[in-house]
Amino acid sequence: MKKLKKRLQQGETLHGCWLNLGSSLTAEIVGLAGFDWVLIDLEHGAGSEREVLYQLQALEHTPTAALVRVESTEPQRIHRILDMGAEGIMCPKVSNPAEARKVVGGLHYPPHGHRGVAKMVRATGFGQHFGQYYQEAQDNILGVVQIETVEVLNHLDEVAAIDGVDVLFIGPADLSMELGIFGQFDHPRFKEALRETVNAAQKAGKATGILFFNPDDYQTYHDLGIRLIACGADATFVADGARHLAKRLDAFRTVPAGVNNGSE
């Protein structure tokens, strides 16, 4: 494992991005680009569990740690992805302590949780390293719950205090939507929710994370104390690069002599 959890506990700021194309090739490209971690997105991304497996395999030989966002808090969803070799799980819209405890229960083997035991899986080297994996999993698997609802804002201290919840990760789009101020990230209520989340995490000795798409926003969130920072996604990298190049080529385009370009 790539010790992402320990690095966060030591106070490092860790940079990542989203993988939502379901492509092992873009996963490998991003994994070699210099990010500390990536988030393979099963909630909104294009891929299925099969594509998650391929992306984990592609990331294995890169320095980048792989987290996966599952669609729900159901333990079986979490178990399956961990067995594939993910180093952490993100669950969306965790609204209360009971849901947070359900996530944690799915992350860890007894006595810390209720993750099912399977030795012949990729995470354990197909049985070769189960003992080592079992010993190290508790200290290395990262548990990330997303702060995206109004309800959870009333339970931040309780959720942050749960052993096994390692990161409170703010989902700006969903949270601002639920607050009735969609996309207004400078709105006082959104800023208040950010501060409340960071404060709750810090009191419990936990980290806070966020996803944004404009690198110019980096300092604002870092100054708040957010340390698991995601900027961009493989889909935006491809789309932005393609649009940028097409626009540059258009600037060189010339109209052949005698051809009406529509200006008359």
User: Known catalytic residues?
Assistant: 44
Separation of alpha carbons 157 and 196, rounded Å = 9
89 CB contacts (<8 Å, ≥6 apart)? 67, 68, 69, 70, 78, 81, 82, 103, 106, 107, 141, 142, 143, 144
Distance, first Cα to last Cα, the chain: 65
- Whether omega before 75 lies within 30 degrees of 0, making that bond cis, reads no
82 CB contacts (<8 Å, ≥6 apart)? 89, 107, 115, 123, 141
Query: What is the distance of C-alpha 133 from the center of its chain?
Result: 22
Q: Which amino acid is at 253?
A: R
Separation of alpha carbons 134 and 103, rounded Å = 18
Separation of alpha carbons 111 and 108, rounded Å = 8
Token pair, residue 138, equals: 């508790």
Q: Distances from the Cα of 67 to the Cαs of 5, 53, 59, 150, 223, in angstroms?
A: 11, 12, 11, 25, 24
Separation of alpha carbons 230 and 245, rounded Å = 25
